[in-house]
Structure 1
Amino acid sequence: MQKILLIGKPNVGKSSLFNRLARQRIAITSDIAGTTRDTNIAKVELNGKEAMLIDSGGLDDSNELFINVKKKTLEVAKDCDILLYMVDAKLGSNDDDRAYFYDLLKLGKKTALVINKVDSKKDEARAYEFINFGFKNVFNISVSHASGIDELIDFCASNLTQNYLVEDDELSLEDFLENDEKVANDEIDLAHMKIAILGRVNVGKSSLLNALVNDNRSVVSSIAGTTIDPVNESIVYKDKTLEFVDTAGIRKKSKIVGIEKFALLRTQKMLENAQIALLVLDASEGFNELDERIAGLLDKNNLASIIVLNKWDLCGKSDKEFDEVCKHLRLDRFKFLAHSPIISVSALSKKRIKNLLDLILKVFDNYTQKIPTSKLNEIIQEAIIKHPLPHDKGKLVKIYYATQFSIAPPKFALIMNKPKALHFSYNRYLQNVLRKNYDFSGVPLVLVPKNKGKNKEEE
C-alpha cells in the first residue's frame, strides 16, 4: 500500500491534519512544540483510494532529542510515495523551511507544499511569501476551519495508483453476485430496524431517546446498562419495530500535560450492528471538530444516517437560517454525509419527534431499496451516453451492464472490460445519477467495478 507522509517543522498542524484525514482522533495535538516524537500511522481512504497516512515528528535542530526525531523522520520519507511538507502561514517563509523542502525534493517523490493556518485575508497575504520556493504544487489550507482540504485530497488521490474497490480476481462473477434475484438477504428483517444514537456529551442524546420511545408509543423492551454501556430501547411504530441503541456519549477522556485525547472505541461495536445512525448535534452551541470525527464513523461503517439538530428551540433562528445551517453542514462540515437529511428537533418539548420517526422509516426504506435490473441499466446507459467513460491509455472502456447485488446499503456491480480503469470521479458521477433517479437520501451507495470474465480483464 502506498504511503503519504506529513512532514514539517514542529507545531505547524501536522497532527491536526492527520486526524482530519483519518476521520478520528489518533494523534495527540497541542500547542507544545515536539508533541509528536514518533510516527503515527493510519489507513485512510481518499476519493475511493486507500493509502497509509503517516504523521511524523517535527524537523528541528534545537536539541539532541529533536535532532534524533528529525533523523528518523527523514529516513521515513525515503520510503514514502507522497510527501506533504507543511508550513505555518502565520509565521511566513523562512530559510529553514526552504532548506528542508529542497532536501525533500531531492528524494524524487511526489511532493506538495501545504500552507496551514490560512484563517484570514491577512494569512492569505502571508502565504504568498512562499512563492519564493518556486514550486507549483502549493495548497493553502486551514485545518481548524476545514478549508482547502478537498483540493489537497484530490492531489493525493490523483497520485495514488490503487483503484476504487478493486475486485477480487479469485472470486468468479457468479459467486460475487450470489444470485441477483435474492438481494434481500434472509438476515435483513424489513420490519425491524436498528438505530444507533451517537454524538458527543451534552448534546441531548438521552433526552432524544426518551422522547422517541415515550411519546405515546408501545414500549416492547427495555434493557438498561451502566452509564458507559449502551442502552437499548425498542418500540413499535406503524407496525415496524424500531430498536434504538444509545451510549453515554463521546467525551474527552483524560488530560496528559495539557494534551487531550478522545475515546471513540466504545461506539465501534454498536455501529457494526446498526443500520441507521442518528448523528445528534447541539444546535444551540454550534459544531466542532469532534462532531466531524464522530460523523466519520458513520461514513466508515456504511450506515444510513440522519443529522439531528437538537435544542433548535434555544437558537431563536428562522427557517431561512435553518436552510443556511444545513448548507454549511453539507458543504463544509460533513461533505461525505451530503446525502443525509437534516431535521431540527427539541427533545425536551418533543417538537418534531414524530417527524423524526417518520423520517427514520423513510430512510430505512431507501437503505433496503432494490432497483429493477432493467431500469438500472437504462439509467446507467443514459449516463454513459451523456458523459462517455474516459479512455484508458487510448483503449475504450466499457460498462456492459449493471446489477444490484445487495441492500443495506445498496451495492451495485458494474460489469466492465476494464474495471481498474474506472476513475473514482466517474464512480461518483454514476452515484449522483442514481440519486437523481431514485430517492437514496440518507443512504451510502457502493458501486463495485467487476470483470466480465472469471479471472482476467478483457482488453
Structure 2
Amino acid sequence: MSFTLALVGRPNVGKSTLFNRLVGRKLALVDDQPGVTRDLREGPARLGPLRFTVVDTAGLEVATDESLQGRMRRLTERAVEMADVCLFMVDARAGVLPADEIFADILRRKARHVILAANKAEGRAGESGLLEAYALGLGEPLRLSAEHGEGMGELMALLEPLATEFEAQAEESAPETEIDVDEDGEADEDAPWAPTPERPLQVAVVGRPNAGKSTLINKILGEERLLTGPEAGITRDAISLNIEWKDTPFRIFDTAGMRKKARVQEKLEKLSVSDGLRAVKFAEVVVVLLDVEIPFEQQDLRIADLAEREGRAVVVAVNKWDLEDEKQDKLKELKESFERLLPQLKGAPLVTVSARTGRGLDRLHDAILKAHETWNRRASTAQLNRWLAGMLEQHPPPAPGGRRIKMRYATQIKTRPPSFVVMTSHPDEVPDSYKRYLINGLRLDFDMPGTPIRLYLRDQGQKNPYKNRKKAQPSRLRKHLDK
C-alpha cells in the first residue's frame, strides 16, 4: 500500500458508505442513525490504478471530556495524525455547520494533507452546501456522492500526485537489504503450514457485552487501538487487525457483544451481531471470552456451541482473573462446569487471563496455536483402519431388526476441521450413540481434544450389477431355430 487515507468528518456525513465503495465490499456498518462507527476500521482500497489503505473513523464530536464521545474524538484525532492524507467530508445537503468549522481548524493544525469533499452533492439539493464549503479555507471542495459513486474520478486525480510523492519518499528511505536465495528453490511439501504475513492465523474474539474483548486485544497490541470503557456494547463493527504476536502473524477480529436474541431489538444491534457472526465464519480459531464473575451463562454456551457448529477450533478464555480471590477453587469449579455444560468441546483449552494487567496472555497465545495445530491434524488411512478394527472389536455396532451392520473401512477426507468417512452397510440405521462412540474414539486415540470432528457414514454395499436390468429378448434368428 502506497499511502494511508483517513476519512474524517461529523457523524452521518457518509464516511462508512465511501469506505465500503473504496474497498469494494460492505465491511463497515451503514445506517441512517448517526454515530454508527466508533472504532477505526482499516481496509485495502482500490481506485483506478491506485492501491492504498483507507481508514474509516468515528464521527468527530465536540466533546473533549472522558465520555464515550470524547474518547471517540481522541481516537479519531490520533488517526488524523497517523494518516498520510485526510479526506474531510461535509454534508452538502445540510451545509457547513459550526462543528465543521471547528474540525477544519483541527485538520489544518494536525493533518499532513487535507482534501475537502462535499458528500451527498448529487442533484441540485447539494449545490448550496458545496458553495458554503469554500468558507472552510481548505481549498476547492470536491463534489462527491459516495452512495452513487459520483466524483470518484476527481478524487483519483487529486490522490495520484500525492501517491507519487509518497512512493518516492518510501524509495529514498528504504534500507538496502541482502536477500538470501535458496539455491534449490524447492519448498518442503511435507512441512506443516505456518502463519505468514501474507496468510496470517485468523482469530475471532467473541463473547457477551462487557466481557473485555476490546481491552484484551488492546493489551495484545500494546496500544489503545480499540475503543474501550465501562459502558456495555461499545463495539459495533467487527474490526480486524493484523498484528505480530510473539513472532506469529495474526489477524484478530474484535466483535460486538452478543446478547440473547430476544433482547436484541434495535436494527443497529442486529447488524452488529450479524457482523460478529460473519467474523466467526471467516476465523480459524474462535476465542470465547467469559467474565469470571458470571461464567458459562446461557448466552456463553450458545456462542461456544455456534463456533463448534461452524467447525472452528475453540479456545475458552476466562477474563478478569485478577479480581478473583479464591483462584484454585474457582479454577476447579470452572473446569467441572466446562466439561458438564460443553461436552461437545471436551478437551478444548481453558485459559484464565486478565485483559487489564496482561497476565495469562502467553498461555492464551500457546493455547491458540495448539488448537489451530489440532484443527489441522491428519491421520493416514492405514492408521484409521487399524483404529476402526479395534473399535469394532471392543464394541460392535448394533443389529437393528436382526440385520448386522458391517463397517468396512475409514478414511479422512479433509482437515479444518478433521472430517472422516466410514464405509458401512445400512448407514441410516446406525444410532447417534454409536456415532458419538466413534467420534470420542477419534478424539482420544488421535489426540484431537476440543476440536470439532465431522463423521460421515456412507453406504458401500455389495450391489448386483444385473439387478433391475430387463431380461434380453431373443433375436428373430433364435426364434426361428427354436421352431
TM-score by length of 2: 0.49
* Cα deviations by residue, 1:51-93 (Å, 9 ceiling, x for unpaired): xxxxxxxxxxxxxxxxxxxxxxxxxxxxxxxxxxxxxxxxxxx
* Distance change >3 Å, CA 420–CA 276, structure 1 → 2: same
8 Å contact from structure 2 (residues 203, 252) kept in 1: yes
Question: Which residue pairs with 1:268 in the alignment?
Answer: 277
Distance in 2, matches of 1:406 and 1:256, equals 37
Return the offset for 1:227. 3.7
Question: Which residue pairs with 2:330 in the alignment?
Answer: 321
SS in 2 for 1:393: helix
SS in 2 for 1:265: helix
SS in 1 for 2:401: coil
Does residue 1:198 correspond to 2:206, yes or no?
Answer: yes
8 Å contact from structure 2 (residues 320, 354) kept in 1: yes
* Distance change >3 Å, CA 239–CA 403, structure 1 → 2: farther
- The one-letter code sitting in structure 2 at the alignment partner of 1:402 is A
Question: Which residue pairs with 2:422 in the alignment?
Answer: 414
- The one-letter code sitting in structure 2 at the alignment partner of 1:386 is Q
TM-score by length of 1: 0.52
Range 239-248 or range 421-430, more displaced: 239-248
Question: Which residue pairs with 1:285 in the alignment?
Answer: 294
Return the offset for 1:285. 3.5
- The one-letter code sitting in structure 2 at the alignment partner of 1:268 is L
Map residues 27-106 of structure 1 onto 2, 5 A cutoff.
none
* Distance change >3 Å, CA 232–CA 449, structure 1 → 2: same
Does residue 1:294 correspond to 2:303, yes or no?
Answer: yes
Identity of aligned residues (%): 29
Distance in 1, matches of 2:211 and 2:293, equals 9
Distance in 1, matches of 2:284 and 2:195, equals 11
Distance in 1, matches of 2:448 and 2:317, equals 18
Question: Which residue pairs with 2:251 in the alignment?
Answer: 243
* Distance change >3 Å, CA 223–CA 315, structure 1 → 2: closer
Return the offset for 1:312. 1.2
Distance in 2, matches of 1:331 and 1:201, equals 24
Distance in 2, matches of 1:239 and 1:272, equals 25
Return the offset for 1:420. 1.3
Distance in 2, matches of 1:423 and 1:208, equals 43
Distance in 1, matches of 2:442 and 2:404, equals 23
Question: Which residue pairs with 1:441 in the alignment?
Answer: 449
- The one-letter code sitting in structure 2 at the alignment partner of 1:328 is S
* Cα deviations by residue, 1:92-127 (Å, 9 ceiling, x for unpaired): xxxxxxxxxxxxxxxxxxxxxxxxxxxxxxxxxxxx
Distance in 1, matches of 2:407 and 2:319, equals 44
Distance in 1, matches of 2:236 and 2:418, equals 33
Aligned mate of 1:346, from 329, 348, 354: 354
Distance in 1, matches of 2:463 and 2:285, equals 36
Return the offset for 1:352. 1.2
SS in 1 for 2:377: coil
How many residues end up aligned between the 2 structures? 263
Question: Which residue pairs with 1:31 in the alignment?
Answer: none
8 Å contact from structure 2 (residues 315, 348) kept in 1: yes
Range 281-290 or range 378-387, more displaced: 281-290
* Distance change >3 Å, CA 342–CA 454, structure 1 → 2: farther
8 Å contact from structure 1 (residues 368, 407) kept in 2: yes
Distance in 1, matches of 2:343 and 2:315, equals 14
Distance in 1, matches of 2:295 and 2:432, equals 33
Return the offset for 1:409. 0.2
Question: Which residue pairs with 2:402 in the alignment?
Answer: 394
8 Å contact from structure 1 (residues 223, 232) kept in 2: no
8 Å contact from structure 1 (residues 399, 417) kept in 2: yes
8 Å contact from structure 2 (residues 347, 450) kept in 1: yes
Return the offset for 1:295. 2.1
Return the offset for 1:454. 10
8 Å contact from structure 1 (residues 212, 357) kept in 2: no
Distance in 2, matches of 1:238 and 1:403, equals 36
Return the offset for 1:318. 2.8
Distance in 2, matches of 1:351 and 1:388, equals 48
Return the offset for 1:418. 1.9
Return the offset for 1:337. 2.6
Return the offset for 1:315. 1.4
- The one-letter code sitting in structure 1 at the alignment partner of 2:385 is N
Which of the pair has more CA radius of gyration?
A: 2
- The one-letter code sitting in structure 2 at the alignment partner of 1:398 is K
Distance in 2, matches of 1:381 and 1:253, equals 45
8 Å contact from structure 2 (residues 317, 352) kept in 1: yes
Distance in 2, matches of 1:270 and 1:455, equals 45
8 Å contact from structure 2 (residues 253, 279) kept in 1: yes
8 Å contact from structure 1 (residues 197, 205) kept in 2: yes
Return the offset for 1:287. 3.8
Distance in 2, matches of 1:380 and 1:452, equals 16
8 Å contact from structure 2 (residues 205, 289) kept in 1: yes
Return the offset for 1:329. 2.4
* Distance change >3 Å, CA 415–CA 277, structure 1 → 2: same
Return the offset for 1:284. 2.5
SS in 1 for 2:208: coil
After superposition, the CA RMSD in angstroms is 3.4
Aligned mate of 2:372, from 344, 364, 375: 364
Question: Which residue pairs with 2:320 in the alignment?
Answer: 311
Provide structure 1 residue ranges, at least 5 long, that are not aligned to the other structure: 1-183, 216-221
* Cα deviations by residue, 1:175-231 (Å, 9 ceiling, x for unpaired): xxxxxxxxx9xxx8765321110001111101111222339xxxxxx999x941111
- The one-letter code sitting in structure 1 at the alignment partner of 2:217 is L
Of structures 1 and 2, the one scoring higher in RCO (CA 8 A, sep 6+) is 1
8 Å contact from structure 2 (residues 424, 461) kept in 1: no
Distance in 2, matches of 1:402 and 1:443, equals 19
Return the offset for 1:237. 4.2
Does residue 1:452 correspond to 2:460, yes or no?
Answer: yes
Distance in 1, matches of 2:340 and 2:263, equals 32
- The one-letter code sitting in structure 2 at the alignment partner of 1:194 is Q
Question: Which residue pairs with 1:120 in the alignment?
Answer: none
8 Å contact from structure 2 (residues 320, 355) kept in 1: yes
Return the offset for 1:290. 1.9
